[in-house]
Chains A and B, each alone.
Chain A
Amino acid sequence: MISHRPRGLPGSGLPEYLSSVTSGVPFWARTCGYLVVVVGVLEVLCRLFIGVAPPERYDARYDKISEPGRWVVHSTEGFSRGRTNELGFLDAAVPRPPPADGILVVGDSFTEARHVDQAERFTNRLEKRLARRVYNAGHAGWSPLNAIGFLAAEKATLAPSTVIVQVSGNDLQDIVARKRPHVVEPAPGAFAVELPKRAAEGTAARVKAILFRSALVAAATSSALQLLAGGRDNDATGSCAAPDPRAVRALPWIAGELRRGHDDVHLLYLPMLDYHAGCVDRCAAARDLFARAAAGAGLAFVDATPALCERFRATGQPPNGFANTVPGTGHLNAAGHAVVAGVLADHLVAHRRLAR
């Protein structure tokens, strides 16, 4: 098991050289010294390439959001680096005063899109194409209920002329999940949003905050927890189980709430496509429900499904998946974002022409 090269000869190999220069140092001290170097190197690697998740805070109006001004490195699905803005989103700073023709896109991880470079996201592409400021207000795990709270809270800050709320099939499960903002029905037909109860910050949270300043500790803990839970959420972006009846009943009310106080609101539906089965939306039932609710509340409904499938059939390259995950699964890749940006741009241009 031991390398039998002569020891202590500088130049005969790094281990031998290190052994020669540390020959008088006790075993434990040498081991600790090497471990400090190893941990240091890993910490640097984590900060540059592996993962730095920004800490989250809780806002009483719309639940969780990333801390502002934090460095983010994402590498488990696709790869990107960036910094959160003053609102806690991965986006450029909000201009003061905000332009009159701004577009606000509120959504979940598909909108936040940590998986691609910021310039490749559909919000940034849309901004370039329409020459209008497009605010990316996407946060992983958000549903239309977070959007309702956020729109009410930050309308004055951003003053958008157009609002796009991005939804996906899994939202119909999320809006009734008690761990997230969920709809309650105190009386038949009367709905309200209830935020989950968050534990008060105690000593454990403070210790965790200190430890998690290390990107290595944060990434390793996150990985270990996922391992213990038996699943890493790389390629699953939510389930398409049969929609909960309460969610189905609440959808028209949710659409109405999104419309409240805004003239120009659009519902953008991003599908979960099964490319192996010929590009079929696994959540087609949810799409139909969203479309119906949007029509009922006077929201414009934008479905990216046909364009995404058309792109897949034309090129054979699925618009979901990355070089470090399985193609056709998970979030939209750069090509997928380009398709969605095209669909949205065409829709907004046509909509404006129609409105005139």
Chain B
Amino acid sequence: MGNESSKLILETVDLKMTYRVGKVDEQALRGVSISVSPGEYVAIVGPSGCGKSTLLHIVGGLLTPTSGLVTVDGAELTSMSDAERTEIRRRKIGFVFQRFNLFPTLTAEGNLKLAERIYQKERNGGADPERRRRILGLLKLENKMHHKPLELSGGEQQRVALARAVVNRPAILLADEPTGNLDSESSAIVLEMLRSLNQEFGQTIVMITHNPEAAASADRIIEMRDGHVVASRVNARKAAP
């Protein structure tokens, strides 16, 4: 496990999470162990309430699990302070949400620059203009950079959110229902973009989705139910020659 673990970009071991709702404890995760290799594109599927979002938030350092281990690119999150987890999130994780979560007062460019500035606060380095140019080209956003989110379609907004999430070269991109608010045409474009990011930049992606078409775009599909991982299988369509 030791050598194997060192090659993993993400690993959770026996992850449990209990929420207190009123006087009742609700177990959202009941011992989840998953592992993701660098460059992998993984979809996590399952019915509502199965613990997918909780798992994503814990992996992204936004929540602390009740027990278990989470390792992101060699950094063990569960033993870290809130400030240390924030730093890991800044350096190693990019988020994409169902509701895009762009700053409505900023242009697309402003949203990207904000992410770069937050990243540079720690890194003391300048932005990577070449990577930015390539990402914008890949996501076909060159002509949309001076638009505010409300001036963009849902698909365009999600592409800006994608660009923002990967502009700082994160180890993992965590996508929470990235096509949940999009029509089928826009969904297809966003899924194509995710696939391109994975293939052209080697971007590791962990995506939560209800959408079978979205799940079908991943290399591997992890299925969850009632806080457990019930199956993990290589995407047959992808694996096929």
The answer to whether A binds B is no
